[in-house]
């Protein structure tokens, strides 16, 4: 059994068969091809500029890398498992194309700093894709809010009807939520945007390299300041996965509401055939499969975070092949999140709100009881706790008579508190309740319009 030619003469025999199965990462890390080529170009140009390799060798290497990029783009590149990873596959092909000069590319570089540079570039782009996906979802939510500024629906606490709100207000709550998710990806991107290239295996290199030049060429803000940290750090991947996890949880919450709202029991929204499926046995069913799958895939993203955190937690400085496990987890989370964001944005844009059903659901449960209590405080000048007791007693009486608060006779209210006047009915309708919530961040249409004006500029 011959040794791997990429390793030179250290090993006299080749790896055991099982090692040929457990060691290769090319099946998944070939996704880093464009990043690997970019890092290699930056490294090559720097080596030539510093006189570490000749200009002619530098040009030959760059030409070979261009040809490899073309082969990959056209599907003509052969990825070989025996070469383990994307880095050795590209290096071996480069040697086939340009000969011995290819071996000079790895001067002052290790696979350790090479792989983490590639990975940081990939995660940086993933942060940008997540931001774009989140903005598209925010825009879809905003568009629904724009159509339903005056659509009244029940607001819930403990899954009980609590107070009336507008559908626009509800949609804009998610705009805020996903805005914070965008902030997390933005923060993660800023922190990861430092270049490990030039840290070599772990201790730096004796060659007179210019790490500032390679960092600038790859659009990093700066080189990392400690070579050991540069090689071993994976908190950038963990932070990205953490942002993915929180975002996936938020998507799950919205998906759960869509599942609930689309049931006949609620009927708040209708999802088209594009985002629902039928039953194999019950012809009347319209199942919100897209929303349910988004909700279900949240566990997958959370699992990716836990898996990588478990890998990293026991590692001493600097590099261990354990870190080969980082990429599949990040790739999986990115693929899952990006798919869910696209599906949710399309589903929100597609849904049709049902204002009549929403309003009907806001009537039971005495959602204007707080407005009654507030009126007692404001007009009758009673302490809120006393007003709360009065309002509770009136609700109990309305329940006994089977009427809503705005239909309860004044005499019934005055039997509980004789100071109550006819003016109380000005605050007991759903519209009056919604319109009265004028505090900053409240559900009054005027406040929601202000809120939407703030986001209109940011989502332009």
Distance CA 422, CA 417 (A): 13
Distance CA 292, CA 271 (A): 13
Distance CA 99, CA 396 (A): 90
Burial 26-65 (b: 16+ CB within 10 A, else e): beebbbbbbbbbbbbbbbbbbbbeeebbeeebbebbbebb
**DSSP symbols for 38-106:** HHHHHHHHHHHHTTSS-HHHHHHHHHHHHHHHHHHHTT-----GGG-SHHHHHHHHHHHHHGGGGGGGG
> In this structure, are strands 269-270 and 352-353 parallel, antiparallel, or unpaired?
antiparallel
Do residues 177 and 200 touch, judged by C-beta distance below 8 A? no
Distance CA 403, CA 268 (A): 23
Q: Is 106 a catalytic residue?
A: no
Question: In this structure, what are the phi and psi dihedrals at residue 12, rounded to the nearest 5 degrees?
Answer: -85, -25
Q: What distances in angstroms separate CA 89 from CA 6, 68, 77, one per listed residue?
A: 10, 10, 9
Question: In this structure, what are the phi and psi dihedrals at residue 286, rounded to the nearest 5 degrees?
Answer: -130, 100
> In this structure, are strands 152-157 and 160-166 parallel, antiparallel, or unpaired?
antiparallel
Distance CA 255, CA 301 (A): 15
Q: Write down the catalytic residue from 40, 87, 245, 279.
A: 279
HSE value, Cβ hemisphere, 13 Å, CA-based, for 327 = 21
Q: Is 250 a catalytic residue?
A: no
Q: Write down the catalytic residue from 158, 206, 280, 439.
A: 158
* The dihedral sign for the CA sequence 177, 181, 186, 188: positive
Peptide bond into 318 cis (omega under 30): yes
Do residues 250 and 177 touch, judged by C-beta distance below 8 A? yes
Residues 6+ apart with CB under 8 A from 149: 166, 168, 445, 448, 449
In 3D space, the residue among 458, 247, 238, 419 whose CA is nearest the CA of residue 326 turns out to be: 238
- State the catalytic residues: 158, 279
């Amino acid at each position: 059994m011959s040794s791997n030619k990429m390793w030179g003469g250290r090993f006299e025999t080749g790896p055991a068969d099982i090692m040929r199965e457990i060691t290769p990462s090319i099946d998944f890390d070939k996704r880093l091809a464009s990043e690997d080529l970019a890092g290699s170009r930056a490294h090559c140009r720097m080596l030539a500029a510093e006189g570490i390799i000749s200009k002619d060798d530098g040009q030959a290497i760059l030409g070979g890398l261009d040809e490899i990029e073309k082969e990959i783009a056209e599907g003509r590149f052969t990825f070989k498992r025996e070469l383990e990873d994307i880095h050795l596959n590209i290096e071996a092909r480069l040697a086939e194309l340009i000969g011995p000069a290819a071996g000079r590319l790895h001067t002052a570089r290790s696979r350790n700093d090479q792989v983490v540079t590639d990975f940081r570039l990939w995660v940086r782009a993933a942060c940008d894709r997540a931001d774009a996906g989140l903005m598209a979802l925010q825009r879809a939510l905003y568009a629904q809010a724009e159509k339903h500024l005056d659509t009244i629906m029940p607001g819930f606490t403990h899954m009980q009807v609590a107070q009336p709100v507008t559908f626009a207000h509800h949609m804009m709550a998610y705009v805020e939520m996903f805005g914070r998710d965008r902030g997390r990806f933005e923060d993660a991107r800023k922190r990861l945007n430092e270049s490990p290239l030039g840290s070599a295996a772990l201790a730096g290199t004796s060659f007179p390299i210019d790490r500032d030049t390679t960092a600038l060429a790859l659009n990093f803000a700066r080189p990392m300041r400690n070579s050991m940290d540069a090689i071993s750090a994976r908190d950038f991947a963990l932070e990205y996965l953490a942002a993915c996890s929180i975002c996936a949880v938020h998507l799950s919450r919205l998906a759960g509401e869509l599942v609930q709202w689309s049931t006949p029991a609620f009927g708040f929204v209708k999802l088209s055939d594009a985002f629902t499926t039928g039953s194999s046995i019950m012809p009347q069913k319209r199942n919100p499969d897209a929303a349910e799958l988004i909700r279900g895939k949240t566990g997958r993203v959370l699992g990716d975070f836990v898996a990588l955190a478990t890998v990293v937690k026991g590692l001493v400085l600097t590099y261990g092949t354990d870190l080969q496990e980082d990429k599949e987890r990040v790739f999986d989370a990115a693929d899952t999140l990006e798919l869910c964001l696209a599906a949710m944005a399309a589903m929100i844009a597609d849904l049709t709100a049902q204002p009549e059903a929403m309003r009907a659901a806001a009537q039971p449960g005495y959602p204007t009881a707080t407005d009654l209590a507030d009126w007692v405080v404001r007009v009758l000048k009673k302490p809120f706790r006393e007003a709360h007791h009065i309002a509770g007693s009136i609700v109990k009486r309305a329940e006994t008579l089977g009427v809503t608060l705005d239909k309860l006779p004044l005499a019934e209210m005055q039997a509980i508190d004789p100071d109550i006047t006819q003016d109380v009915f000005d605050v007991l309708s759903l519209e009056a309740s919604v319109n009265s919530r004028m505090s900053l961040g409240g559900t009054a249409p005027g406040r929601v319009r202000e809120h939407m004006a703030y986001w209109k500029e940011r989502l332009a």
